[in-house]
Amino acid sequence: MSEIKRINFYCERCDARITVEEEGALQELEDLGWRVGEHILCPHCVGVMRYVNVTMVESIGEEIVSEFISASQAYGSFNNAHEGLAVLWEEFEELKAEVFKKQSQYDLENMRKEAIQVGAMALRFVYDVCVYPKQEVK
């Protein structure tokens, strides 16, 4: 049994939206009057439809959550917003170093790893600092 993929299409012009829940459903869109080719055109205003592979986004989100859990178990909660920002900044600088390489020297796997870590530390910041902050000792 093949995995069902979810793809969201949205029109940049009129904000029309459609969700496709299986691979190969583009034929169904053509049958509904959608013109499919290089771009998918909106049947309402003939604007260009963009898409988001929701299945892929969910998979990346799972990686970010996994990294968040690993870091939280290894290092505990951030003590305060300053510590959280410092850790997030450090991860951002590592991603920036990957991005600022010559394009011919890009290591997409390492760039992806650093981006996942930035996402995990951003999630950790929200969780540790904004949702469950440590109480100040008075």
- What is the per-residue pLDDT across 110-123, written as a single tens digit (0 to 9) for each? 999 999 999 999 99
> Is 136 within the bounds of a domain?
no
Residue-wise pLDDT tens digits, 5-37: 677 788 888 888 878 776 666 676 667 766 665
pLDDT digits (tens, 9 = 90+) for 53-86: 777 888 999 999 999 999 999 999 999 999 999 9
Same domain, 83 and 122: yes
124 and 81 part of one domain: yes
Containing domain of residue 105, as a range? 77-131
- 20 within some domain: yes
What's the structural domain count of the chain? Answer: 2
Q: Which residues have a Cβ under 8 Å from the Cβ of 98 and sit 6 or more positions away?
A: 106, 107, 110, 111, 114
Q: Is residue 96 part of a domain?
A: yes
